[in-house]
Amino acid sequence: MKYSKKVLEHFTHPRNQGRIRNADGVATVGNPVCGDIMKIYIKIGENKKGEKILEDIKFETLGCGAAVATSSMVTDLAKGETIEKALKISRQDVSKELQGLPPTKEHCSNLAAIALHDAVKNYKDKLKKKK
């Protein structure tokens, strides 16, 4: 199985790895077939326009190199973006930014995008409960 240089870079030097205490949104997703588990934490802030942005984002992933790389990439893509833009990040975006993944590892990009979207949904659900 051949990985791109970008996948290897994000696997060996992952960005935004770790946990956010008191995160505004958290999501855990997994794939029972391969055993990958990803947890995404987000902290929400505001930009100068008053839009809600992902001020900080971190991940914890237990899985293969592709799972770690896609988790790292999705956090890179989402950090500093508005909530609306973060929700538009797709598995194709993650895979493209990593210069592709082997066909048997494409599911990792899907998991990463789902984890991001679920963390934003968790944040929005918490806001609804407060109101």
Query: Are the C-beta atoms of residues 73 and 10 closer than 8 Å to each other?
Result: yes
What is the reported pLDDT for 61? 96
- CB crowding 76-98: b at 16 or more within 10 Å, else e: bbbbebbbeebbebebebbbebb
In this structure, which topology does domain 5-125 adopt according to CATH?
Sufe protein. Chain: A (3.90.1010)
Q: Give the pLDDT of residue 107.
A: 87
CB proximity list for 80: less than 8 A, separation 6 or greater: 53, 54, 55
**Predicted local distance difference test score (pLDDT) of residue 48:** 94
Q: Kindly name the residue from 108, 115, 119, 120 that is annotated as catalytic.
A: 108
Which amino acid appears at position 62 of this protein?
Answer: L
The confidence score (pLDDT) of residue 31 equals 84
Below-50 pLDDT ranges, the chain:
none
Q: Which contiguous run of DSSP H or E holds residue 111?
A: helix 106-130
pLDDT of 57 reads 98
Which residue has tokens 């902290």? 43
Task: Tell me 82's DSSP state.
Answer: B
Catalytic residue check, 64: no
Q: Which of 34, 37, 64, 114 is an active site residue?
A: 34
